[in-house]
């Protein structure tokens, strides 16, 4: 069974093709600058690579190009569309309408469209990719996997903001959470690593975008991102938590419009805004090592915010089995992991400095063997999670059809 996973961004399409009998990746690729004459197309299948700059007018043309590339090379990853059991799509926002992945039909498309107002930078692109795939792949089942679905188990006390309740009723203002597919993958993998069916874990997805999830027995009970991905942790260019009055203060005393302030908070804050160096932690760490005080401050602010939430989630869980780091920073920055976990021995988490510094490929612990709460690095694999959901839903539909027949 082969499953294609498609992730459409505002001007890009990422994709991966899996053989689900072994969960082996057969091909991977990226199309950037969709809508321009100089779109970049990158494709890899085994040892065969293809890179070209060419016009890609829209998502339909982009998906069609993917189909063509999957059929090329000495050993095509996809010789015939009939080999494809299903296509899985990342969809950022499902609001309260979707608490799990679904097979796409007209009703699902309409609901995703209604959610565009909650994710105007993401859902329209996700929807365009879905429509293109439906047209190109014909009867092949399409599956939507929502970033927000994992957090539909949050209790009202966790997702309700202390604002007039009618804002929730009329405008759907609540905490939704994001990165749910990543948090679900690493929390499930943590259960396997810990050999415990339903552990209590805290997962930290740290990259250019950052979020944490508090997971009790496999179900999310709290998270750091909110109505939008701007809330919570310090990120590459996003501010994370701030006093809302800062916005009104800036509107009153500066010449910035609300839209300009929004842009500053989303695209010029976080690590980049504090350090003045870069949104990439590697660059910030290098600058800090060379004596840049603002770079040092940016690292400390990032770690401080993560430690605050880690402490809060430990209290919320009451009994925690493991803390899991994932994402580009979580997997690759021993400096940041060390700052976040330093001095937590009284809480039952003892950092093993050597393990943390040496790191490694794949999964590894960064706490001592006698640490009551283990801390692990587990690389995320959102695309594989999407492929698994697609495989399961396609199998369910097939079984239901046989039973009905």
CB atoms within 10 A of CB 37: 10
Q: What is the largest CA-CA distance in the chain?
A: 71
Is residue 24 within 8 Å of 18, Cβ to Cβ? yes
Contact 334, 357 (CB under 8 A): yes
58 is catalytic: no
Q: Is 110 exposed, middle or buried (0-12, 13-18, 19+ CB in 10 A)?
A: exposed
Which one of 147, 222, 321, 389 is the catalytic residue?
147
Annotated catalytic residues are: 147
């Amino acid at each position: 069974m082969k499953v294609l996973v498609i992730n459409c961004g505002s001007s890009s399409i990422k994709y991966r093709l899996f053989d689900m009998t072994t969960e082996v990746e057969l091909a991977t690729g990226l199309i950037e600058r969709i809508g321009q004459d100089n779109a970049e197309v990158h494709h890899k299948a085994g040892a065969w690579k293809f890179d070209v700059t060419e016009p890609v007018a829209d998502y339909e043309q982009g998906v069609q190009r993917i189909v063509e590339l999957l059929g090329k090379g000495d050993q095509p990853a996809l010789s015939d569309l009939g080999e494809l059991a299903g296509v899985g799509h990342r969809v950022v926002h499902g609001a309260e309408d979707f608490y799990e992945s679904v097979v796409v039909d007209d009703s699902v498309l309409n609901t995703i469209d209604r959610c565009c107002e909650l994710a105007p930078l993401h859902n329209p692109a996700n929807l365009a990719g879905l429509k293109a795939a439906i047209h190109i792949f014909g009867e092949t089942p399409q599956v939507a996997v929502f970033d927000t679905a994992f957090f539909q188990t949050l209790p009202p006390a966790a997702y309700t903001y202390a604002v007039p309740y009618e804002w929730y009723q009329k405008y759907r203002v609540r905490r939704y959470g994001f990165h749910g597919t990543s948090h679900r993958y690493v929390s499930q993998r943590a259960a396997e690593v810990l050999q415990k069916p339903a552990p209590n874990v805290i997962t930290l997805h740290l990259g250019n975008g950052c979020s944490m999830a508090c997971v009790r027995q496999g179900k999310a009970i709290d998270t750091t991102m909110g109505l939008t991905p701007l809330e919570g942790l310090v990120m590459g260019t996003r501010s994370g938590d701030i006093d809302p009055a800062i916005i009104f203060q800036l509107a009153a005393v500066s010449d910035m419009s609300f839209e300009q302030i929004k842009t500053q908070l989303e695209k010029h804050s976080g690590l980049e805004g504090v350090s003045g160096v870069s949104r990439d932690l590697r660059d910030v760490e290098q600058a800090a090592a060379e004596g840049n005080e603002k770079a040092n401050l940016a690292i400390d602010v990032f770690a401080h915010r993560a430690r605050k939430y880690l402490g809060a989630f430990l209290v919320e869980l009451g009994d925690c089995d493991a803390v899991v780091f994932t994402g580009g920073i979580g997997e690759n920055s021993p400096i940041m992991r060390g700052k976040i976990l330093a001095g937590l021995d009284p809480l039952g988490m003892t950092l093993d400095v050597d393990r943390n510094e040496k790191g490694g490929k794949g999964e590894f612990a960064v706490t001592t063997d006698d640490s009551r709460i283990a801390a692990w690095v587990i690389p995320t694999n959102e695309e594989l999670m999407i492929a698994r959901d697609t495989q399961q839903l396609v199998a369910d539909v097939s079984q239901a059809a046989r039973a009905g027949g």
